[in-house]
Structure 1
């Protein structure tokens, strides 16, 4: 309750400062200064007390201020007269000084004002409340990660996988409510990354730095129109507090391999300047086991492949974030943020593939070994200005952003083919160098104008310019043992995209009903250029309307309706036509001819007593960007790429509710049911018309029956489902953690284990036309972590938080993977 009360004190002081003093309106007069201190009965300073200067004759308020954390205060520009000083503070009775006679332009020191502890108030202050893990707000579901035991030592990727309605497949593609095409933002900024690079970023982000995860299924026109299944907004902690404060985190984990994580956050605020920084490091060695069974059908017969692969990935992640804000005035604040990462990954893969005309007997085999060294760096800078034009709510904010990604991948492959008797038939040595550079520039402005307390206009514009440069040098070792260029795979791909956007939102509220109407326009120009091939140029203008209506039936029943049109442009990696090999018969290739997909989304939600929420969703998507496996019957190879399917219709219902079993036992339940149907004529020579019903359930228990300790247990079940031509098997897992705070709640230690029973697996099958495969994947998922966190310094008053404007483009960065 102290932060809230301090805010009330600040508001009170501002109001005091606005009260006119008759004596001040007569022109300049000699002025004096009054100083003093507020102490307790034990002679200790009272932090941040509210101090008022009163006229002695009538007790009218002349001036007000806020005491320091040392208990001192200063009142400037005091005209001659007789005064008394009154002091109030949370948890204490008020204190009043003796009369002070100010009769000269000098400094007058008031004897220390003593206040006594208020037993009644102290009882109120000692009451503590914890935010629920899940909160339903007007247009989004919020997952409160901060202070959660399960967040200890886990990465952002680990935590996101536990969010309601979220699924992450074997290739790190993220879906929400059963639909792909999610836009991921960090602090309201798009990440512009391919799925593989986004996974790298999320794994390198320490979960202890996350405050909340917001799930926005139907965003307004203010947001970029990308994301057919909505937006996931990960908000990081940002402690902007008076004085100097910080948080130190250190942790270690063990699954199959050891892991560690360290981070340091510092913040300093003095006067008009606020400076903050965060650095983190993470070492994580992961294992991934994949078994792929597939059949290649030819006119001469079928060939069976049974492949077992083991991938070991030692990774080293280093993130940094530095920023500052400066108050030019009470209404205008400028700031900058610089952040980035330097990540090193080393992948070692070995696979053995049995090849034959029957499943039981192989007539040859392939053994593949690869070594891949990957270096990813990112630098991003933001400059921002927020101007509160008046006290009615008129506001203008401007953001300028620049981001640069450098991805360097060097890989060596050895493919050895053996006869059935085990003798070597052929050995093939390959190596790739694939540097990739992505530059992103954006500028945006947002303006808010309140016509009245119930009618508000929002408008804004955004301009973005993205250029990716992907170069692939592929080499093959010849008979002399020298590496020479492989012209069939070497290539150079350049992609540039410009988007000009503007939006208008109009919101109106009545006693029990509020609505918002908006429209966003985006004009896109893209140019994909593959060396020695004609460029792929596209121009298109789109409008994206949105409607939100909320109505309070009574104090306990609320209902809402929303509609929006969305777009998903292909991420830059999916457009890159380069070939990336797993082995001789398995590879991945981009598609530069992918078209954007468009979605109409409807949602109706009902909330009872501000806690239990039920949401019904329907969406219709055209030109659906979907992952698919194609077969090269000549090479007997299968490769993964993306195609546009014609239509996807999705229906879903999401239910969430907190509950209390006992004073020491609370929890939250979430059930998401959905039906996805895909239709596409002429897909691989046939018409696709397939859909399935699926659901996922999640329950989280919070137990506090041991004083000073908090225990969390989470169980998740995902049923089997269909996605395009793929069928995913069921999944289930359980996590648990315990946390304990000590040292006056500045220190916290957390122990948690993910996937306790080691059941988290990805099992996928596909039987469509020429595609006949079965994939079984098991990642290292059972990990035990111990994390220690210590907060130091002053943590009394928080200042402004700011998010930048270039996050939408970053989520689509491609290349390097």
Structure 2
């Protein structure tokens, strides 16, 4: 089957190549843009770089340079609406007005002032806001952010507009779960707490920016119901040896230490990059919960009160090595290898009391836990890029292999006491040996084929991936001093998955209208096998995922766009694994091998005003919505956490993004989001038809004190929201940062105070048939961090590095 698809794909490229040659003989609908820069200071070739941008979506169309006379020319540009901007180390920035290209256009002479004449103005314009809103995505400029100093990737995400992280470390975007997380275009092989732990091990000092895409095209994997979060790591841009060294220390309730090194060496055709980050973090989590159990008449029969305290000590080593080589000016090959090695120790102290219906204690138990965790994640990518001609035809190929090894040694000791604090029964001692292995292999080919006479760009591609997850869990009862296997908690689960995909995407732009349509086909073949009881399940299904976008420029100030897509969110490998995980004597978690994937149809209307003010109205419906639910277990007064499918989830949203600038000293980006989510269906003998209007507001403010000193102030507010049966209380927080540039702006001294008023906590309540719970979670969120960084290296430019392909199945490991 795979050979047939590859042959068909080669035939597709072959046929389209000759179609393009034939069509190229027809009359072209192109025009040119030219002009001349003049200045009191002598201009030299390549002194000024020019970028031609499409007004509708702000995409880069072409890059050109001036010659020694200051003349530039953009040739063979299709009809459309454009803007022109310049970048130079010697001259001030130039930005054109709107260029409506329906004939050859000469911009005439353009005056440029030398940089030293307007140094103050250039310093001011160089401030990049932490949050930038575009019509199709939100961009977090992490590299220049003061408030990101000493933070982890997870903490940076928490500051983003519309992003929330719940008590189980699940990430939501605009009130919806099912977020795809990528690093340099490669999907992360984790979800839930495993994903959160990985993002906690990644320092913000490694990150250049984060793109949050709400409605991806068919080129992307169909997974991710609420959108994609793409973390873009720092890349060298200059000729020669360049890099930076960063040292940061943070103190909250516990300390955080984070040195890092980034190097990039470029010489002629070869570009080599290397980075290393060490992250030693000490954290805590405090969880207080109150549980009640009910009879068939909905009367309280008893309950448990918990006071849990967890401390975390983690040492994370994160390394990256890669290279690109230009075989010819149009052919680039490269590789990238990544490694994440983590060792940690988690200590837990869980105090619980059992109570009657009248809240009178009947006994107590105290569970002390010690979990020693090790994690070895490694991956390698080989990539190939071939620019076939000057018209935009391009072929990209990626080959990926990833291996993830995880191990845990768990020790739990539970002491039981009566109401007089006397030991009431023999202590329960449990030892767990958990081992997990995950292998992911994949290849991907993408082809871009513009048909210039028609003004159409075609994109097509294929992808196949093979995943094998092997989890071996063994628990032993050591209460009597011996190792006695506990078959009720032990398990060996093997899961295999093969996903084959192909897509075709077409786009076209007119003077005021732009359009994009796409279709993606995905075939999924899975097999799960539980060795303990010989249970097995198999699935084989094929689905289509259409997507589209239409944009129209009403006039110079108003633009409209509408997008639609169908997407899928498959269960994670851990969600499918049916074995039980021990949390305490009355709490456990288990997977559900019968979970179905979620299917979401979504629509969004976008209006932009002056390319600054953005309004979005959206609607989506999710079928077989996956909810993680705590519910009564078979043992009296015990609960189990597992995933279940809910019939339907309807989601409506309205957002407004607006900048606010005061003079040259304040740059403010603000996003207001209102949404309504309604869950409907029947789970655990409980009918659910629950919805709530929620509001989220995020404000990011950059304040210029002088040319070398600036501040950053970020505030976020979220009203009360709901997740299935759970009602989550509102939350707000404020982060404050200050930065000082020294030594000709090669040294940066930063201080950041996160969660300044210590208000970032999670409180929620849940109620269903036979059970209710209220809990509050606090973490080490208020931290002061001091950072010192030094950057070194020469000037110059380099081509943008290809970072590799991505596989959706990697995200779902865990």
Task: Give your verdict on TM over 0.5.
Answer: yes
Select 1:289's aligned residue among 264, 286, 290.
286
Which residue in 2 is equivalent to 1:716? 716
Select 1:123's aligned residue among 113, 117, 125.
117
- Secondary structure, aligned partner of 2:535: coil
Q: Which moved more, 1:511-520 or 1:686-695?
A: 686-695
Q: Which moved more, 1:646-655 or 1:414-423?
A: 414-423
- Secondary structure, aligned partner of 1:809: helix
- Secondary structure, aligned partner of 1:502: strand
Distance in 1 (CA, whole Å) between partners of 2:300 and 2:173 is 41
Aligned in 2, Cα 1:125/1:507: closer, same or farther, shift over 3 Å? farther
Aligned in 2, Cα 1:449/1:138: closer, same or farther, shift over 3 Å? farther
Aligned in 2, Cα 1:283/1:463: closer, same or farther, shift over 3 Å? same
Which residue in 2 is equivalent to 1:216? 213
Distance in 2 (CA, whole Å) between partners of 1:361 and 1:367 is 18
Q: Deviations over 1:764-814 (max 9, x none)?
A: 101121221011111111000001111011132133222211352221111
- Secondary structure, aligned partner of 1:434: strand
Question: What is the aligned length?
Answer: 716
Aligned in 2, Cα 1:10/1:526: closer, same or farther, shift over 3 Å? farther
Which residue in 2 is equivalent to 1:726? 726
Correspondence 1:669-748 to 2 at 5 A: 669-681=670-682, 683-748=683-748
Distance in 2 (CA, whole Å) between partners of 1:301 and 1:257 is 40
Q: CA deviation at 1:372?
A: 0.1
Q: Would you say 1:660 and 2:661 are equivalent positions?
A: yes
Correspondence 1:236-385 to 2 at 5 A: 236-298=233-295, 302-385=301-384
- Secondary structure, aligned partner of 2:328: coil
Distance in 1 (CA, whole Å) between partners of 2:509 and 2:197 is 43
Q: Deviations over 1:555-589 (max 9, x none)?
A: 21111100000000011121122222221011211
Contact residue 297 and residue 633 of structure 1 kept, 8 A:
no
Distance in 2 (CA, whole Å) between partners of 1:120 and 1:229 is 47
Distance in 2 (CA, whole Å) between partners of 1:569 and 1:423 is 49
Contact residue 379 and residue 403 of structure 2 kept, 8 A:
yes
Contact residue 304 and residue 359 of structure 1 kept, 8 A:
no
Distance in 2 (CA, whole Å) between partners of 1:91 and 1:401 is 42
Contact residue 247 and residue 791 of structure 1 kept, 8 A:
yes
Distance in 2 (CA, whole Å) between partners of 1:607 and 1:670 is 14
Q: Deviations over 1:405-452 (max 9, x none)?
A: 000011000111111111112210001011000001110000000001
Which residue in 2 is equivalent to 1:523? 523
Q: Would you say 1:394 and 2:393 are equivalent positions?
A: yes
Contact residue 294 and residue 305 of structure 1 kept, 8 A:
yes
- Secondary structure, aligned partner of 2:798: coil
Aligned in 2, Cα 1:213/1:90: closer, same or farther, shift over 3 Å? closer
Distance in 1 (CA, whole Å) between partners of 2:401 and 2:786 is 37
Aligned in 2, Cα 1:509/1:491: closer, same or farther, shift over 3 Å? same
Contact residue 747 and residue 790 of structure 1 kept, 8 A:
yes
- Secondary structure, aligned partner of 2:343: strand
Contact residue 212 and residue 228 of structure 2 kept, 8 A:
yes
- Secondary structure, aligned partner of 1:733: strand
TM-score scaled to structure 2, two decimals? 0.85
Which residue in 1 is equivalent to 2:145? 148
Q: Would you say 1:768 and 2:778 are equivalent positions?
A: no
Which residue in 1 is equivalent to 2:803? 803
Contact residue 303 and residue 637 of structure 2 kept, 8 A:
no
Q: Would you say 1:483 and 2:483 are equivalent positions?
A: yes
Q: CA deviation at 1:714?
A: 1.2
Q: CA deviation at 1:121?
A: 5.4
Which residue in 1 is equivalent to 2:191? 194
Correspondence 1:399-410 to 2 at 5 A: 399-410=398-409
Contact residue 625 and residue 643 of structure 1 kept, 8 A:
yes
Contact residue 316 and residue 345 of structure 1 kept, 8 A:
yes
Correspondence 1:644-655 to 2 at 5 A: 644-655=645-656
- Secondary structure, aligned partner of 1:158: helix
Q: Deviations over 1:326-350 (max 9, x none)?
A: 0000000000000010011210000
Q: Deviations over 1:332-372 (max 9, x none)?
A: 00000000100112100001111021354201111110000
Q: Which moved more, 1:686-695 or 1:325-334?
A: 686-695
Which residue in 2 is equivalent to 1:423? 422
Q: CA deviation at 1:707?
A: 4.3
Correspondence 1:159-238 to 2 at 5 A: 159-238=156-235
Q: CA deviation at 1:634?
A: 2.9
- Secondary structure, aligned partner of 2:230: strand
Correspondence 1:571-582 to 2 at 5 A: 571-582=572-583
Distance in 1 (CA, whole Å) between partners of 2:295 and 2:796 is 72
Contact residue 489 and residue 582 of structure 2 kept, 8 A:
no
Contact residue 503 and residue 521 of structure 1 kept, 8 A:
yes
Contact residue 135 and residue 614 of structure 2 kept, 8 A:
no
- Secondary structure, aligned partner of 1:794: coil
Aligned in 2, Cα 1:622/1:90: closer, same or farther, shift over 3 Å? closer
Which residue in 1 is equivalent to 2:793? 793
- Secondary structure, aligned partner of 2:635: coil
Which residue in 1 is equivalent to 2:99? none
Contact residue 194 and residue 574 of structure 1 kept, 8 A:
no
Select 1:139's aligned residue among 136, 139, 154.
136
Q: Which moved more, 1:130-139 or 1:258-267?
A: 130-139
Larger C-alpha radius of gyration, 1 or 2? 1
Distance in 2 (CA, whole Å) between partners of 1:8 and 1:455 is 31
Q: Deviations over 1:214-255 (max 9, x none)?
A: 111111000000011111111111114210111101100000
Structure 1 runs (4+) deviating above 6 angstroms are 49-52
Correspondence 1:439-518 to 2 at 5 A: 439-452=439-452, 454-479=455-480, 481-518=481-518
Q: CA deviation at 1:132?
A: 2.8
Which residue in 1 is equivalent to 2:18? none
Which residue in 1 is equivalent to 2:585? 584
Aligned in 2, Cα 1:631/1:357: closer, same or farther, shift over 3 Å? same
Q: CA deviation at 1:534?
A: 2.6
Q: CA deviation at 1:90?
A: 6.5
Which residue in 2 is equivalent to 1:550? 551
Which residue in 2 is equivalent to 1:17? none
- Secondary structure, aligned partner of 1:813: coil
Distance in 2 (CA, whole Å) between partners of 1:392 and 1:142 is 29
C-alpha RMSD over aligned residues = 2.3
Q: CA deviation at 1:686?
A: 2.9
- Secondary structure, aligned partner of 1:318: strand
Q: Which moved more, 1:297-306 or 1:465-474?
A: 297-306
Q: Which moved more, 1:318-327 or 1:636-645?
A: 636-645
- Secondary structure, aligned partner of 2:756: coil
Distance in 1 (CA, whole Å) between partners of 2:428 and 2:623 is 43
Distance in 1 (CA, whole Å) between partners of 2:520 and 2:390 is 28
